Structure 1
Amino acid sequence: MAESGGWHTIESDAGVFTYLIESLGVQGVQFEELIALEADYLKQLSPVYGVIFLFKYQMGKNRSEAPMDGRHDMDAPNHMFFANQTIQNACATQAILSVLLNADKEQVDIGDSLREFKEFTNGFPSDLRGETLSNSDLIRDVHNSFSRSSPFVDEGTRQATEEDDLYHFIAYTPVNGVLYEIDGLQPAPIAHGSCTQDEFCDKVIPVIHRRIDRYPPSEIRFNLMAVVQDLRVKAVEIGDEEMLAREEQKRNDWETENELRRHNFVGFIHELLKGVIKEKIKGGTYDEWIKQTKDLNLQKAIAARKGEPVD
């Protein structure tokens, strides 16, 4: 896999993902973070088009090995969108598109831009599809517009090593009556047995549980995001005004958070800290302030070692 090629990392965040796909022209779809890994909980969000799973990636694994669960479907339908990941930092958007570009067109409106992209790459081998995705100015620019502003060196400018904590996004979605795991680092989609759209919630949860169980019990750094119908549309359909108000407020909060991501506050914080220090020195309380801060940090460190709550 090549280096970043101008792709930046983005957060696994429902607001980021929702506004990202809307910027690409997708209509009537949003993301919801799952706080419980239960089929009944997932069903409450129906219709569910797929899920995006974030996990710590184990470096050095041979991508041609047989999967530990399921099987590589080398004969997956030609019209199915599967692209190899050919560049770093693109896996979040690639996983998202793996759900959307395989969704039933009667259920999901992916918009003109993604529809043209899907039609253009139809019939391409998976590696060429990945190269085409990586070189799409539109998709890359929209993806990068949701990365955090940083004054420091972009991690994407260097090749990852086995010492890094790396995280990877993959997708699970039903296609043509089969539950597929779509991972751009694999040679083909991974089939997990028969699965209709109505069965998806019941069948995907055990698969994810089995994957998590392969990690040590101490590993808790996982994130699962459901790709669902815009919940504002659902609220209107069932006439739930309270739900509609909550979803509208959620959208407002997401918009604010996304706007903040685009700003670099290091300069502001630096000037603020300079002002605080200036006032402490002027008032003759600087040394006492530093001592109190050190004592407080020491107390927190001791409490943390003992497993005690830290205020």
Structure 2
Amino acid sequence: MTSMWLPLESNPDVMNEYVSKLGISSSWIYTDVYGFDPELLGFIPRPCRAVLLLFPITEKYEQFRKDEQSRIEQSGQTVSDQVYFVRQTIGNACGTIGLIHSLLNNRDAIDLGNGAIKSIWDQTQGISPEQRAKTLESSKELARIHDESSHQGQTHAPSADEEVDLHFICFVEKERHIYELDGRKPFPINHGVATGDLLNDSVEVIKKFMEREPDQLNFTAIALVRNPDEA
């Protein structure tokens, strides 16, 4: 990691203010997913264009991640060239990477405006995930906005060099497939054919994360949805 940022709180209010500073209008908002049973999922507005998952990084997960990477490198996978993916090379920046993944993979629906997120898109389209990471590293505006947002929320922000064992990833749909976007991994993970409801499809993948860690409780999901107040 080239540098360390303060972790971003898993809080839709913080995220909504963050992306507003990036140049996104309030037509799309982040909202809590309070549970994974069908009744609770039914309360989440549709369409849902991205799902952010905050989960614990454990030894068991790290072994799974290595095995998964090895399996994919040996067997291969199909990844749409429409998927926007960036590596994470800044410590504790997984929240920002998740937000960027959620926004830049939904340019067909979300107006990027003329702020920092549009600038990032203009600078990083057509280059590798590693080159994109270097662009983020050098963005003083992004670092400033992240720093402002990381001091907001309901919990005390840890120091930038504090070891954090929670990690954000993002799920999106591209060309009828569900993709997991995790900047710690070398490539997107294709989780198969989509049903047309990204939230439900993402939850099915999230349940597998939870099944691998039956003793862990720190799983939080946040959905990016159209603002029902502006529909």
Per-residue CA deviation, residues 101-129 of structure 1 (Å, 9 max, x unaligned), is 00142x21122232332132112111111
Match of 2:17 among 16, 19, 24: 19
How far off is 1:67 after superposition?
5.1
Q: Size of the alignment, in residue pairs?
A: 221
Alpha-carbon distance in 1 for matches of 2:184, 2:123 = 22
Counting aligned pairs with the same residue, the percent is 24
1:140-159 aligned at under 5 Å gives the runs 140-148=143-151, 155-157=159-161
Q: Which residue of 2 aligns with 1:193?
A: 192
Q: Which residue of 1 aligns with 2:80?
A: 77
Q: Structure 2 length as normaliser, TM-score?
A: 0.84
Structure 2 counterpart of 1:200, which letter? L
Q: Is the 8 A contact 1:26 1:111 kept in 2?
A: yes
Residue 42 and residue 97 in structure 1: after superposition, are their counterparts in 2 closer, same or farther (change >3 A)?
farther
1:1-311 aligned at under 5 Å gives the runs 1-4=1-4, 7-27=5-25, 28-39=27-38, 41-43=40-42, 44-58=44-58, 61=62, 65-66=67-68, 76-105=79-108, 107-113=109-115, 114-148=117-151, 155-157=159-161, 160=163, 166-195=165-194, 198-216=196-214, 218-234=215-231
Larger radius of gyration: 1
How far off is 1:133 after superposition?
1.6
How far off is 1:65 after superposition?
3.6
Alpha-carbon distance in 2 for matches of 1:141, 1:231 = 30
**2:127 is paired with a residue of what secondary structure?**
coil
How far off is 1:48 after superposition?
0.5
Select the structure with the greater relative contact order (CA < 8 A; seq sep ≥ 6): 2
**2:200 is paired with a residue of what secondary structure?**
helix
Q: Which has the higher helix share?
A: 1
How far off is 1:85 after superposition?
0.5
Moved over 4 A (4+): 70-75
Alpha-carbon distance in 1 for matches of 2:159, 2:3 = 10
Q: Is the 8 A contact 1:103 1:175 kept in 2?
A: no
Alpha-carbon distance in 1 for matches of 2:45, 2:189 = 25
Q: Is the 8 A contact 2:51 2:199 kept in 1?
A: no
**Structure 2 gap segments, 5+ residues each:** none
**Structure 1 gap segments, 5+ residues each:** 235-311
